[in-house]
Amino acid sequence: EHFLTGANRAFTVSPHEYCPRGKRLFLKKVFHNMSCFSYELLHTDPSGARSGALNLAHGRVQTPVFMPVGTHATVKAMTPEELEEIGAEIILGNTYHLYLRPGTEVIATLGGLHRFMHWERPILTDSGGFQVFSLGQLRKIDESGVVFSSHIDGARCSLTPEHVVDIQRVLGSDIIMPLDECAPYPADRGYVAESMARTHRWARRTKDAKMGHDGPAQAPALFGIVQGGMYADLRRASALDLVDMGFDGYAIGGLSVGEDREVMLNMVREAVSCLPTDAPRYLMGVGSPEDMVLSVEAGIDMFDCVLPTRNARNGTLFTRRGKLVIKNSRFERDAAPLDEECLCYTCRNYSRAYLRHLFMSKEILSSRLNTIHNLYYYIDLMRRMRQAVSEDKFVAFKKDFFTNLS
């Protein structure tokens, strides 16, 4: 066996355990008394926008960052190599879906989620709370956790805060999320306050369960999730309570669920005002390019959303000049790329006319090429925001961004 060292980690490689991937190797990681997580705040723009870096077990991630959604251990229509080529540094998986299918035992037997899906870089796994609470009458909430009927076969299943930790550790996630309750919108204050308090009790149990597992070896980072609906004082109280518990990072959940953009941004600002500057901030399930630019200005570091991949499959493409609906007849003979300023594989090689033809013909290649473009756009938007922050030019960047869209 050959012993190699890397930044904040160590590896052992057996000749029986690796397989080629280009000129690289799959490595069996063995960690020795080292921290698996740290956050570096690199620069803060006068606007409040910031750039930083997450140091995780499977690599370094620059922030602000967009995490493509790989709910079922795949980012729809994309191979891991293609994700790397467009600059993806971290992706998101979902505990609820992977727990139901193929099941954690299958993934564990096959070497964990990274090896199972052929992705070597960091993975954040959502707890599945949002999916469970979206089941409506098919689930029941109590202090112990949630009991629900599987959307696949109707089988009765349950998730507790402790179980969610167990599942995510088996998956081998770099960042794990606690079970939380996403209150519906609109909801009265009493319900939201009760839901938030239960989420906090679950967060405490999640942290205790994780600490019970942690030993001298590396462990995943654990983020707390700020709730509180659309009530500013509850958002502040939630953030302060979680900070008092102490987490590696802090997510803001329960937003972009039907409220107006300004309401969402107000809730983001209220939460951020109570969060520490030396920890990452993750806005869950958001969003549109406009929402992300405004949220970065509010101090957010991490995002995920199905919008770029879902819209790609539906024929809606993001460009620096706004959204483009490829099925429109005006693109039938258009030889231009989707976006003249875009350097993605799709824009470098294919015309709007061809992409419209693929979409109208319901060809599988349509989803692939559209997804490559949309995800590249999102990831490049983050790169451009990081650059603007580093140069103290975020306000000018935001002005140009919205001017180009109009």
The residues assigned a catalytic role are: 126, 304
Query: What distances in angstroms separate CA 192 from CA 153, 183, 188, 344, one per listed residue?
Result: 31, 6, 6, 43
Query: What distances in angstroms separate CA 236 from CA 227, 252, 285, 384, one per listed residue?
Result: 9, 11, 20, 30
Separation between Cα atoms, residue 292 and residue 304, nearest integer Å: 10
User: 216 with 254: CB under 8 angstroms?
Assistant: no
DSSP per residue over 16-57, as a string? TT--EETTEE--EE---S--S-EEEEEEE-TTS-EEEEEEET
Q: Which of 159, 170, 110 is nearest to 133 (CA)?
A: 159
Kind and range of the H or E run holding 284: none
Q: How many other CB atoms sit within 10 Å of the CB of residue 94?
A: 20
